[in-house]
Chain A
């Protein structure tokens, strides 16, 4: 890294001055001071051209999840049981017939930590089950 990352980290360790909101006139009450301690050192320049990263660094904005679809087939009378797996904003990830022990592979933006499922059948007497699955 050239080499703002390390320099800035060292600066934090010795509590040297400089810009930033925490160094300006405090607006929080004295009796309840708020001290922001970054858990990770921050680079001075955020430009890629000013920095280096390890060759092993990954740049994934998506995560892969392998999961087993819940086996709800026993709860339905209908011969054709369907499942929709979808995000909280309604985008379908998997849509079709549900079979026992069916594996599911999802590839989702990193911030998505759960999905929803609807299970339903072609039998009008059957209910529609909606659940949330935490990934």
Chain B
């Protein structure tokens, strides 16, 4: 029995109009929520809708009966802009949602609504937080509904918004909607204090617009089963139907900063110390659940995001991120790689990878091919060359079994390079080689040259890479002094590069 027949059957048993039930499919509406506000005409269907029937009062009444006395909507959240928002998780908070019905001149407004999630948020201009309902989603969630005739099939609609129609919600007993002459859904999002960072920046409404659809009962289960965007969102309070939440996120170095790792790739020979052969920005978030019996946090999921910043090398490389643990781990990784300045993924992405033993992920393959300027082996490392955006990547790791946080090594973890022409690995000092076929496998964990300098360094994200052939110590003349005798007077040496010796490619540029 397919779902359409089954609902028709249920409707018949309930003494309801079976034709209305049998034909009800989710319908995308014409109007949307733009810049945090929407007045959505429920009688106007989106031009790309598959439905051939207009929505009228009878249709709304059929939806009402199908959902047991409420009207249910689903929102395509489209806010990958601020805070930790990204393609795989985006959110907004709902300040108010009203259904406004006109019965031949008599207006009735119903103002009670629910969502599946909430968060604690401060309003714009405030710092104290209160609880607000939230809508979460993800780009590319590719919802699969029971019927391909549904406007939700293959889309990113993800967040349920239910409007109650009882006496408490409407102030009166709402008559049958069959005779309603107009019907609107008014939605206003919460204007959060984005200056506070997350969670406020995450749940802002700076992007959009958000499309909205009236949802049929058969499409509710796939939407709520998918829980798009829930697992990676910050500070999620589950209200109903939501199970994929974490208790907390721990961000390294923060939710809004990156580690910038830079390499010298001539290993084991001395390089030219320009530390720009490959420059990558990355950050890592650990999704934590609290183990009540052990009274400790455990890691249940990991997200990482990063960008190629510069590549000043003749050689090509593969770039890996390893997150060492004392305990073997298993799980799955979803690898995303995005076309520059878009939310569109590179061909053959996303990719799935199974983890068995440790988290050791090849994130970038053949960096020379991935970031190139015609006629030059160098990208963003030479003067008088227009700046080039690099690829963006993101990783989502779901562990089969949560692992104690104390079993994880300390950040910045092990971001390493496999230099393809030489077959050497290059790690931060202190890490072991990982690729059994590499030329230095098992032979080095120091990764320092004869002068005691490393082949890989980690910097804060306001560091600029030196120009091609410019010694790091010449580009930043306090670097060596700080290295030899660190003190509070020179610990921000990287904020004082010498004019003309570095490419001032800022985070605002490469973090697109």
A61 in contact with B459 given A99-B295, A107-B412 (CB within 8 Å) = yes
Interface size class of A (residues with CB under 8 A): 35 or more
CB of B502 closer than 8 Å to a CB of A: no
Chain A's closest residue to B260 (CB) is A61
**Does A97 sit within 8 A of B, measured CB to CB?**
yes
Q: A91-B254, A95-B249, A120-B120 are in contact. Are A110 and B454 (CB under 8 A)?
A: no
In the assembled complex, the Cα of A10 lies from the Cα of B37 at a distance in Å of 71
User: A96–B199 Cα gap in the complex (Å)?
Assistant: 10
Residues of A with C-beta under 8 A to B128: 120, 127-128
A59-B429, A91-B256, A92-B254 in contact; A48/B288 too (CB < 8 A)?
no
Give the distance in Å from the alpha carbon of A49 to the alpha carbon of B471 in the complex: 7
How near does chain A come to B408, taking the closest CB pair, in angstroms? 9
Bound CA–CA A5/B485 (angstroms): 12
A13 within 8 A of B: no
Q: A91-B257, A95-B198 are in contact. Are A107 and B131 (CB under 8 A)?
A: no
A46-B477 in contact (CB<8A): yes
**Min CB gap A89→B, angstroms:** 8
Tell me the complex Cα distance, A1–B502, Å: 25
Query: Is B393 at the interface (CB under 8 A from chain A)?
Result: no
A82 surroundings in chain B (CB, below 8 A) = 120, 129, 235
Within 8 A of B (CB), among A1-39: 5, 39
Q: Is B96 an interface residue (CB 8 A)?
A: no
Verify if A57 is at the interface (C-beta below 8 Å from B). Answer: yes
Contact A59 B457 (CB under 8 A): yes
Tell me if B249 and A100 are in contact (CB < 8 A).
no
Which chain B residues border A42 with CB–CB below 8 Å? 481
In the complex, residue of chain B having the shortest beta-carbon distance to the beta carbon of A43: B480
Cβ-defined contact, B458 with A62, below 8 A: yes
**Residues A63-102 near B (CB distance < 8 A):** 64, 80, 82-84, 86-87, 90-97, 99-102
* B472 contacts partner chain A, Cβ-Cβ < 8 Å: yes
In the complex, which of the residues B259, B481, B488 has the most CB atoms of chain A within 10 Å of its own CB atom?
A: B481
| Residues A92 and B474 in contact, CB atoms below 8 Å apart | no
A97 near B197: Cβ-Cβ < 8 Å? no
B249 touches A96 (CB 8 A): yes
Q: Are A122 and B127 in contact (CB under 8 A)?
A: no
> Is B448 touching A64 in the complex (CB atoms < 8 A)?
no
Please state if A91 and B255 are interface contacts (CB–CB under 8 Å).
Answer: yes
- CB–CB B491/A51 < 8 A: no
0/1 string, A91-135, CB within 8 A of B gives 1: 111111101111111011111000000101010100110100000
> Could you list 5 A-B pairs, sorted by A, with CB under 8 Å?
A55-B446, A57-B484, A92-B249, A102-B290, A105-B405
Residues of B in contact with A (beta carbons under 8 Å apart):
84, 120, 127-131, 195-199, 234-235, 237, 246-257, 259, 270, 272-273, 288, 290, 295-297, 405-406, 410-412, 429, 446, 448, 451-454, 457-460, 471-474, 476-481, 483-488, 491-492, 494
Closest 9 A/B residue pairs (Cβ)? A96-B248, A91-B254, A53-B452, A90-B197, A47-B471, A40-B485, A46-B477, A92-B255, A48-B273
